[in-house]
Copies of this chain bind each other. A is one copy, B any other.
Amino acid sequence: MKISDIGEQGLLQRLQQFCPSEIIGDDCALIPTHPDKLLVVTTDLLIDNVHFSDRTTSPQDVGFRAASANLSDLAAMGAKPLGITVGLGLPKDLDVNWVEEVYQGLIQCLNTYNTPIVGGDVVKSNVVTLAITAFGEVSPNFAIKRSTAKVGDAILITGYHGLSKAGLEILLNPTIGESLNKEDQQTLIKAHQRPKPRLDVIDILHLINTNNAIISGMDSSDGLADAIIQICRMSGVGAIIEKDLIPVNAIFKKWLKPEKALDWILYGGEDFELVLTLPLDLAETLVKQIGTAAAIIGQITSENHVILRNSENKTQKKLNLNDGFQHF
């Protein structure tokens, strides 16, 4: 039996039997190290022509995006970063500049969050390979898990969605962005090439969550719809999302048909925003503190599905990950 016969999910299910069940299933693993600290660990493998390509991503952007994705996983757990390690598999005829520029990109992202590269490994490989492991720490009562959403919690997102997808589409097919001015094009392209991990949100939460309210959540790296559905599945709850409450970037409004905009917002992915469920009053305070494009978009319910409600035309549909966006 080949991997292609069972797919990534089939393989992951088989491999999970080798891991402690209480540790897996979140953006990062949580490992108790001290009575009031958990070690938080996440790892990503990035492969040339699978996860990045010279066509859309400069070596500096490869580094920046890799660091950002891993720091976003730490943010998704409520953790503060401690450092990352970098493993590189490199063909021997690769240009040294390429490698140094990847590191420059890593550092440009990491320096913003005072996170050092603490080690690594460099080996020969025929395929350019980047293996990043990021680790951080969090207090046990502050860890953000996917499995603790409660009925009545507000569902909050920390920023615009769909911009990274739009930037990628413009990079792959520049003609689709021709009706936009240069500045708007660059905003979207930058959203794809230089996504920001929302560690700033975690800093704010540490200040305002003085009652130690339980916050559930994850990042939206695989799309906004995916994040909401994963949280509901892991928590055994449902959700109702108000379509009109989802922030739509001004560029999308003037450029895209509403159906297309909603498709990219829900299913685009790689925005690295946070999707959090938390008590309404705390959510309202957090939205004010974050500012731009943070919004409460719905509520956790006791149903076993995620509903997207359109208050305008009174329709609603179930969100699921198999069929992508369907028109109202």
Contacts and interface: CB of A to CB of B under 8 A. Distances in A.
Contacts of A28: 119
Contact of A45 (B6, B39, B88, B137): B88
A37 B47 CA distance: 35
A207 interface: no
A82 B14 CA distance: 23
Nearest to A104: B18
B127 A29 contact: no
Contact of A2 (B45, B94, B106, B123): B94
Contacts of A97: 1
A94 B8 CA distance: 12
Contacts of A24: 118-119
Interface size band for A: 35 or more
Contact of A95 (B2, B106, B133): B2
Copies in the complex: 2
A117 interface: yes
Contacts of A117: 18-19
A135 B33 CA distance: 11
A137 B34 CA distance: 11
B125 A129 contact: yes
Interface string A84-118: 01111111111111011001101100000000111
B47 A85 contact: no
Contacts of A2: 92-96
A7 B91 CA distance: 11
Contacts of A123: 45-47, 50-51
A99 B16 CA distance: 12
Interface string A46-70: 1100110000000000000000000
Nearest to A51: B123
A23 interface: yes
B93 A3 contact: yes
A163 interface: no
A158 interface: no
Nearest to A91: B3
Given A20-B116, A94-B3, A107-B18, A41 B11 contact: no
A316 B273 CA distance: 65
A96 B9 CA distance: 12
A41 B3 contact: no
A93 B24 CA distance: 26
13 contacts: A1-B95, A2-B94, A8-B122, A18-B106, A19-B116, A23-B116, A29-B83, A33-B82, A43-B87, A50-B123, A125-B127, A133-B133, A135-B135
Given A18-B106, A45-B88, A47-B125, 18 more contacts: A3-B91, A11-B90, A11-B96, A11-B99, A15-B99, A15-B100, A19-B119, A33-B37, A34-B37, A39-B82, A41-B83, A41-B119, A45-B87, A47-B123, A50-B125, A51-B123, A126-B126, A129-B131
Interface of A: 1-6, 8, 11-12, 14-15, 18-20, 23-24, 28-29, 31, 33-34, 37, 39, 41-47, 50-51, 82-83, 85-97, 99-100, 103-104, 106-107, 116-127, 129, 131, 133, 135, 137
